[in-house]
Amino acid sequence: MKIVVVGSGAIGSLYGAFLSRLKDTEVILVGRNPHVSAIQSNGLKINGILGEHVFKLKAMKLASEIDKADLVILTTKTYDTLTAAQSAKHLVDRGASILLIQNGLGTEELVAKALNTTKVLRATTCMGALRTTPGVVTATGCGLTEIGSRYPENYELVEQLTEMMKEVGFDVRSSDNIEGVVWTKTLVNCGINPVGALTGLSNGEVYRNKALRGLIVRLVEEAVKVVKALGVELTTDDPVRYALGTAKATGNNINSMLQDLRAGKRTEIDAITGEVIRLAKIYGIETPSSEAVYALVKALESKYLEEGKKMTEMDILAIDELVEAITR
């Protein structure tokens, strides 16, 4: 199988590297410099909890340089989804399927429509990884990857990819309820990510603070109302407990939204909390806590993007200020 990974940051590089170990499997990473040039020169180095590895695999800046593939794995941020998908359209037109490993809601439908295809698969992951320096990825957390598709014709490929990822050591399972999987992961992100981003705290630090745990509960409960209105079947019976349990279990993690602010980058708040708010308005559901954290994160995001700066300790909100802003 020929696999092209588009958006080869930390997570894309991680999956691509280990899949390249499979017999009769070729992996090409598509990303940006200086990461790509470092891989071309010295290979992709992976360290952290998965051990020390160096992978010799192809890397390039443009998907247009590749003429054919069996699978495109897209691991970009949600706001880059359509641009990245369009860059690989010629591969899909020539028969490739596309697997989205992302946060957020609604990207499968966008890609299916934009590329005029139903060969779209979706995955969520609880793997943690950081691109520490160009050509080097540090694995920071091992967690479940779930793969599925809204289109029944892809079920055979879903099972094939599940077995391939298991073979190289990932904890993976297939799902016939990928919408429920995506929403369950989104509820966790709705609760943990904005709170961590606004306070500058790790997941464990957020969990250990009683007031912040209360904020997580509020945010998750608001999102659950939307899920019920949509008629989506979650993969947990107690989403609040699940979100809090995730925060506790991933205590050392710095969530991706906080990582983005620290790097002066755009966050994925629009595809997470923003999408919950958008859907809530359609169904007449009130989401005051979600709207408050959304506004605060967007304000910080705009500041850093406009000024070209990164988040500092001076910019984070004190816990009592954050709680007051959301609960008053």
Domain 179-327 has CATH 3.40.630.10: no
CA nearest neighbour of 195 among 297, 313, 328, 324 = 297
pLDDT of residue 316: 63
CA nearest neighbour of 213 among 187, 237, 239, 240 = 240
Contact present, 70 and 95 (Cβ < 8 Å): yes
Dihedral pair phi/psi, residue 11, rounded to 5°? -70, -45
- Across the range 289-305, mean pLDDT stands at 90
User: What does the angle CA 45 – CA 50 – CA 52 come to, to the nearest 5 degrees?
Assistant: 40
Residue 317 has pLDDT above 80, yes or no: no
- Across the range 67-89, mean pLDDT stands at 96
Domain 2-176 has CATH 3.40.50.720: yes
Give residue limits of the domains in the chain: 2-176, 179-327
92 confidence band (pLDDT: 50, 70, 90): very high
Over residues 242-279, the pLDDT tens digits come to: 999 999 988 888 898 998 998 888 999 999 999 999 99
pLDDT of residue 253: 83
Over residues 5-59, the pLDDT tens digits come to: 999 899 999 999 999 999 999 999 999 999 999 999 999 999 999 999 999 999 9
Beta bridge partners of 46: 53, 137
pTM, entire model: 0.91
Residue 80 has pLDDT above 70, yes or no: yes
pLDDT of residue 141: 80
pLDDT of residue 201: 93
| pLDDT mean across residues, the chain | 93
303 confidence band (pLDDT: 50, 70, 90): confident
Distance of CA 100 to the CA centre of its chain: 9
173 confidence band (pLDDT: 50, 70, 90): very high
CA nearest neighbour of 14 among 49, 51, 46, 60 = 46
Show Cβ contacts of residue 2 under 8 Å, excluding neighbours closer than 6 positions: 25, 26, 28, 68, 69, 70, 71
Residue 307 has pLDDT above 70, yes or no: no
User: What does the angle CA 223 – CA 79 – CA 173 come to, to the nearest 5 degrees?
Assistant: 65
Residue 313 has pLDDT above 70, yes or no: no
Over residues 178-226, the pLDDT tens digits come to: 999 999 999 999 999 999 999 999 999 999 999 999 999 999 999 999 9
Task: Give the residue carrying structure tokens 């410099």.
Answer: 33
Annotated catalytic residue: which of 77, 89, 119, 185? 185
User: Residue 172's CB: how many other CB atoms inside 10 A?
Assistant: 19
Q: Is the peptide bond before 288 cis (omega within 30 degrees of 0)?
A: no
Please say if 225 is a catalytic residue: no
Cβ-in-10-Å burial (0-12, 13-18, 19+) of 43 comes to middle
User: Residue 79's CB: how many other CB atoms inside 10 A?
Assistant: 14
Higher pLDDT, 270 or 313: 270
